[in-house]
Amino acid sequence: VGGQNGGADPDDPVFSYVNGLVYQEDIVQVRVTWEDRQQQTVEVINDSYLALRAGQFAWKTVEGLNAADEVVVGQTMEIAPGKEIEP
Q: 30 exposed, middle or buried (CB, 10 Å; 0-12, 13-18, 19+)?
A: buried
pLDDT score of 10: 64
Task: Report d(CA 23, CA 69) in Å as an integer.
Answer: 17
State the average pLDDT over residues 32-60: 93
pLDDT band at 51 (very low <50, low <70, confident <90, very high): very high
pLDDT score of 36: 93
pLDDT band at 34 (very low <50, low <70, confident <90, very high): very high
**56-82 pLDDT tens trace:** 888 899 999 999 999 997 777 666 566
**Low-confidence winner among 29-33, 46-50, 70-74 (lowest mean pLDDT):** 70-74
